[in-house]
Amino acid sequence: MAIDGTTEDVPDSPANAAYWGHHPGSRGDSAFPHAQAVYLVECGTHVIVDAGFWPGHTSERIGGRRVLRSLEPGMLVLWARGFHEYHMLAEARRRGSHVLSRLLSGVRPRLLRTLPDGSQLMAITGSAPPRHASRSISWCG
């Protein structure tokens, strides 16, 4: 499975422009209003399992958090490093899913141990709010 976001053009009308908004650019606003779309898809077939749409200025993480509702135990979910957030990772693990993702450069996982195949078991500790400071999430890296 994969979670990713994109912008989608919506029909150009005053109502859509007011709700969805136009994407600003260096040469002016986009020609059409844009919706921020986030999808949970099956990688092999590209079947859309869940999706959400928000005004174009909305963060992809909003949609990423929403589609977590459709994760099931045993799923392996790929997401881009822009989705990395302790709470999203914790929710995916709470649902019994596993995540494969690049980490932002500022994230410093803690090495738990090196496995026989040379991969490493790492942990990420949440930094905020403080109630999560004692919790950690482990994965193989």
Instruction: Name residues whose C-beta falls within 8 Å of residue 123's C-beta, 6 or more positions apart in sequence.
Output: 109, 110, 112, 136, 137, 138, 139
| % the chain with pLDDT above 90 | 54
Asked whether residue 60 falls in the same domain as residue 126, the answer is no
Asked whether residue 97 falls in the same domain as residue 116, the answer is no
Asked whether residue 98 falls in the same domain as residue 119, the answer is no
Q: Which residue segment(s) compose the domain that 117 sits in? A: 108-141
Q: Sign (positive/negative) of CA torsion 13, 18, 23, 28?
A: positive
> Collapsing DSSP states into helix, strand and coil, what is residue 6?
strand
Asked whether residue 87 falls in the same domain as residue 42, the answer is yes
Q: What is the pLDDT of residues 53-91, one digit of tens each?
A: 999 888 899 999 999 999 999 999 999 888 888 889 999
Q: What is the DSSP letter of 59?
A: -
Q: How many domains does the chain have?
A: 2
